[in-house]
Amino acid sequence: MEADENRNKPISNIIRFLGGRSTLFVLISLLLIGLIILIFNRISFIFYPITVFFSTVVLPVILATIAYYLLRPILRLLEKIKIPRIWGILILFIGAMGLITLLVFMVFPFLKIQFNNLVEDFPTYFSQMVLKIDEFLRTSIFASYYESLDINVKNILESGQGDIGKYFTDAVGGIASGLSSFISALTGFVLAIITVPFILFYLLKDGEKLPRYFVQMLPPHMRNDAKTILRDADHQISSYIQGQILVAICIGVMVSIGFLIIGMKYALLLGVIAMFTSVVPYLGPLIAITPAVIIAVASPFMLIKLAIVWTIVQLIEGKFISPQIMGKSLHTHPVTIIFVLLTAGSLFGVPGVVLGIPGYALIKVGVTHLFKLFKIRYNKHVAAEGLYYEDPDGRRLGE
């Protein structure tokens, strides 16, 4: 009799939503989750081989994935003109090898010369910049406070100029002191580069089938949601990678041409730096403009021309190029992007800064769909009059 009475007692909406019939169920579930976390923390050394495996595999997989999303539209275009997939992949590989060879033998030597010259001249440019700042402060409204600090910039520069000139030599010495770790990292990078073409080949050959294989491993009632998540994730990543690379190339070309027009030294090298750093939203342009400002600050007229060129490039990129190429595929607020970059950079360093935004896009897709399922499940258990949600098919739930 008591058992029947307990069974007929009304269940709390929250408990029922969580899948249980009593508060004890929730408490035991939380306790089990805590025990799992504690046990994992105690025996984490068991998972060390798995950590090593993923740390070794992650770089070639990421590079191959980026190349896959860049080459996939071209491969689909080749298939539309009746070229078999295998032959299309071979054509893409031959074209990529030819382009890389052209860059290595024609562009890289010139960039190397400019880079070496910039390294040699950088202490001079840096000293000129510091002297200009010192001169400005001594004639500004802060002159009295600045002079009270009794800072002799010329003596500091003369005593530290040798240190500035030896900056890169010290960096090389630091690498030499940790020679074993440097060789290990270099070996891992070389192996990653070697394995990228093999991974890329199979991605181009069977990449379209991978989502279908993954979905088939799931229970039938989860397959439709999994298809939607994978489709949206694929769209987000492909749009971001393809758009960001095209925008970066456009910025590099515009910066190089603009700097050549105004007679800026190391114009091509600065354009390449701007191209690579522009893959990092918001922070990339700031990083790219810094060496150009240090070089141009000795001449006020050159500094004005630099500001004009940079403003024009940013306006063209922000008003015409990015909206047309990127659109609003990420739908992410700029403040959110900055927070993601800062967090990812603190956790994973430079790779985190580069991969933080696409990683956030993937997480956002998963969380968005899980939240939709959460709302559907909630309305099955907690229905209020006049309130409803729509499922992905547009049906009203909760009425």
Domains in the chain: boundaries: 1-35
Nearest alpha carbon to residue 129 among 294, 333, 285, 367: 294
Q: How confident is the model at residue 378 (pLDDT cuts 50, 70, 90)?
A: low
Nearest alpha carbon to residue 254 among 240, 267, 241, 239: 267
Q: List Cα–Cα distances, 110 to 118, 130, 270, 274, 324, in angstroms.
A: 12, 29, 13, 17, 33
Highest mean pLDDT among 29-43, 167-181, 253-267: 253-267
- If one compares 131 and 271, the residue with the highest pLDDT of the two is 271
The total number of residues written for the chain in this structure? 399
User: Rounded to the nearest 10 degrees, what angle do helices 220-262 and 48-80 cross at?
Assistant: 80
Residue 62 reports pLDDT greater than 80 = yes
- Furthest-apart CA pair in the chain: how many Å? 95
Give the rounded percent of residues in the chain with a pLDDT score beyond 90: 1
Q: How confident is the model at residue 53 (pLDDT cuts 50, 70, 90)?
A: confident
- Give the whole-angstrom CA distance, residue 255 versus residue 280: 16
pTM metric for this prediction: 0.68
- Of the listed ranges 116-120, 232-236, 334-338, the least confidently predicted one is 334-338
> Which tens digit of pLDDT belongs to each residue from 64-93?
888 898 888 888 898 888 888 889 899 999
What is the average per-residue pLDDT within 276-296? 81
> Which tens digit of pLDDT belongs to each residue from 15-37?
555 555 556 666 777 888 888 88
Nearest alpha carbon to residue 270 among 247, 282, 254, 281: 254
State the average pLDDT for the chain.
Answer: 75
> Which tens digit of pLDDT belongs to each residue from 316-325?
887 777 766 6
DSSP state of 233: H
Q: How confident is the model at residue 393 (pLDDT cuts 50, 70, 90)?
A: low
What pLDDT sits at residue 187? 63
What pLDDT sits at residue 90? 92
- Give the whole-angstrom CA distance, residue 346 versus residue 200: 30
Q: List Cα–Cα distances, 359 to 62, 66, 137, 156, 363, in angstroms.
A: 11, 13, 44, 45, 6
